[in-house]
């Protein structure tokens, strides 16, 4: 490629065509029944839209909200965020982008027509269409063995949809040990609240059972909050992770979110100020373990994203896998992606969608691809200014790595996108 116009066209074409491995979502396959969220009612009552609604509907208490049906909740969200106010937030625009990608007329503002469209969809066929339109080969679920609904679902699952990988979520075990201990005893594990050697062996047995049952790509937690949590991580989680050959993923934030109730499917996070130093200490202390990290929830680049990226350069057993929370919007993603490219090169997984509703894959990956293409072109353009010339194969190599290839390489597993057919 001899001109920047040719370069830009090649980058955009390649990024759009490259299939994605979405390495962290809150999606579930059809086998998980009510946990598999799709359709217009779920789209309009997603976590992000409910959080946005709260600022407008201070008259609605949480008790009143929970008494409403999903359809009634969706009606309120639509009227408040899309009709009474301009829907230009990332979450609102995302819903409209989904409608557009599915061929619906967003100018009509006709909720009844949108509902009619979704009502006549076949769930399996619709899921196939979304994966194809989003050009996503696989997604990684967030699987919580302490969720009663999920445990029941696992009892009836013989074989998972190959598009859905698993991740073993351990927040409840790590951060709510007193309650988790009671639950483990009910399931026949000989544990006590004091972390004796026997109790730690039983915790390791519990983790090994679920690793064998789920075959997770990694274990993950929003962090750990006490001395007990730290011991569980170091004496139970990390030895089992090393034996199984899977990473521990930490999700770090600076908003100080409270850990959710164990039955919730929402994500959790460690505060940035402590999280990065803890992560760096673990990487140094346990070089035989692998670690993943997603950063989230803040305004601007600031010092913490820089420190995390610097840590990834220092520790070969740490791989960065994108952003979540407030960092998930395109403006923040672009700023942070530039930082990571300039400090760490292309050895990162740029983003995961964090989708909790199936159709969100469409707009989240449209947005992410737009940002990645823009930043990648700028970096290649800088190289061209030095006389360096990129080839089509090199651009394809970089795109494949950024959109999941390097993640699979870090895990030491084959990349399913290699066999992907459009």
Residue whose structure tokens are 């829907």: 87
State the DSSP H helix or E strand holding residue 206, giving kind and residue range, or none if neither. helix 197-214
Minimal CA–CA distance to 293: which of 24, 20, 47, 25?
Answer: 24
For residue 258, the model assigns a pLDDT of 33
Residue whose structure tokens are 């544990």: 191
Spatial separation of the C-alpha atoms in residues 403 and 292, rounded to whole Å: 15
Enter the tokens of residue 359.
């159709």
For 304-362, give the DSSP string: HHHHHHHHHHH-TTEEEEEEEGGGGSHHHHHHHHHHHHHHHTT-S-------SSTTHHH
Question: Over the Cα atoms of the chain, what is R_g?
Answer: 22
Question: pTM of the full predicted structure?
Answer: 0.91
For residue 346, the model assigns a pLDDT of 84
Which regions of the chain are under pLDDT 50? 255-273, 298-301, 421-422
CB atoms near residue 61 (< 10 Å): 10
CB atoms near residue 181 (< 10 Å): 21
For 131-146, give the DSSP string: HHHHTEEEEE--B-TT
Enter the tokens of residue 22.
């979405």
Enter the tokens of residue 133.
């339109």
Spatial separation of the C-alpha atoms in residues 71 and 76, rounded to whole Å: 9
Spatial separation of the C-alpha atoms in residues 294 and 271, rounded to whole Å: 12
Give backbone dihedrals phi and psi of 410, rounded to 5 degrees, phi first.
Answer: -65, -40
Task: Write down all domains in the chain, each with its CATH number in brackets.
Answer: 4-38+134-420 (3.20.20.140), 40-120 (1.10.2020.10)
For residue 269, the model assigns a pLDDT of 39
CA 242 to chain centre: 23
Strand stretches in 141-247, DSSP E: 164-165, 167-169, 218-221
CA 79 to chain centre: 29
Strand stretches in 155-264, DSSP E: 164-165, 167-169, 218-221, 248-253
Q: Report whether 154 contacts 213 (CB < 8 A).
A: yes
Using CA atoms in the order 379, 380, 385, 389, what is the torsion angle rounded to 10 degrees? 160
Spatial separation of the C-alpha atoms in residues 69 and 390, rounded to whole Å: 55
Spatial separation of the C-alpha atoms in residues 102 and 118, rounded to whole Å: 10
Q: Is 374 helix (H, G, I), strand (E, B) or coil?
A: helix
Spatial separation of the C-alpha atoms in residues 182 and 336, rounded to whole Å: 42
| Start-to-end Cα distance in the chain | 26
Angle at 263 between CA 251 and CA 165, to 5 degrees: 55
For residue 256, the model assigns a pLDDT of 39
- Residue 355: HSE in the Cβ half-sphere, 13 Å Cα cutoff: 36
Spatial separation of the C-alpha atoms in residues 238 and 218, rounded to whole Å: 11
Spatial separation of the C-alpha atoms in residues 301 and 333, rounded to whole Å: 10
Residues 6 or more apart in contact with residue 161 via CB below 8 angstroms: 29, 30, 31
Residues 6 or more apart in contact with residue 359 via CB below 8 angstroms: 38, 39, 43, 98, 102, 130
Residues making up the chain, counted from first to last: 422
Spatial separation of the C-alpha atoms in residues 351 and 333, rounded to whole Å: 8
Burial bucket for residue 362 (CB in 10 Å: 0-12, 13-18, 19+): buried
Distances (CA, A) of 186 to 78, 146, 264: 43, 12, 21
């Amino acid at each position: 490629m001899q001109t920047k116009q040719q370069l830009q066209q090649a980058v955009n074409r390649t990024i759009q065509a490259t299939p994605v491995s979405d390495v962290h979502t809150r999606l579930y396959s059809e086998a998980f029944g009510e946990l598999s969220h799709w359709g217009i009612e779920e789209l309009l009552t997603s976590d992000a839209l409910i959080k946005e609604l709260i600022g407008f509907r201070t008259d609605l208490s949480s008790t009143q909200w929970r008494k409403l049906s999903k359809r009634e909740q969706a009606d309120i969200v639509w009227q408040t965020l899309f009709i009474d106010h301009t829907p230009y937030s990332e979450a609102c625009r995302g819903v409209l982008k989904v409608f557009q990608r599915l061929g619906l007329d967003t100018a009509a503002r006709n909720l009844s027509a949108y509902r009619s469209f979704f009502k006549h969809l076949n769930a399996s066929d619709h899921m196939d269409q979304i994966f194809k339109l989003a050009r996503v080969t696989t997604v990684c679920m967030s699987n919580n063995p302490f969720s009663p609904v999920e445990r029941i679902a696992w009892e009836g699952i013989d074989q998972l949809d190959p598009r859905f990988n698993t991740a073993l979520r351990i927040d409840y075990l790590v951060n709510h040990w007193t309650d988790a201990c009671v639950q483990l005893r009910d399931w026949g594990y000989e544990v006590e609240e004091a972390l004796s050697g026997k109790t730690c062996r039983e915790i390791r047995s519990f983790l090994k059972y679920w690793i064998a049952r789920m075959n997770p790509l990694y274990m993950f937690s929003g962090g750990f909050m006490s001395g007990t949590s730290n011991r569980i991580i170091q004496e139970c989680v990390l030895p089992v992770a090393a034996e199984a050959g899977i990473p521990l993923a930490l999700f770090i934030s600076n908003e100080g979110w409270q850990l959710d109730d164990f039955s919730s499917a929402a994500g959790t996070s460690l505060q940035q100020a402590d999280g990065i130093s803890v992560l760096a200490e673990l990487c140094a202390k346990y070089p035989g373990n692998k670690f993943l990290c997603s950063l989230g929830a803040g305004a601007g680049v600031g010092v913490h994203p820089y420190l995390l990226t610097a840590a990834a350069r220092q520790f070969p057993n740490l791989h960065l896998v994108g952003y979540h929370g407030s960092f998930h919007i395109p403006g923040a993603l672009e700023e942070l992606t530039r930082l990571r490219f300039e400090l760490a090169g292309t050895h990162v997984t740029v983003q995961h969608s964090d989708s909790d509703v199936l159709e969100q894959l469409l707009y989240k990956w449209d947005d992410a691809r737009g940002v990645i293409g823009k930043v990648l072109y700028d970096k290649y353009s800088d190289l061209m200014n030095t006389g360096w010339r990129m080839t089509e194969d090199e651009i394809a190599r970089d795109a494949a790595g950024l959109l999941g290839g390097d993640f699979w390489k870090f895990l030491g597993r084959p990349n399913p996108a290699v066999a992907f057919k459009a």
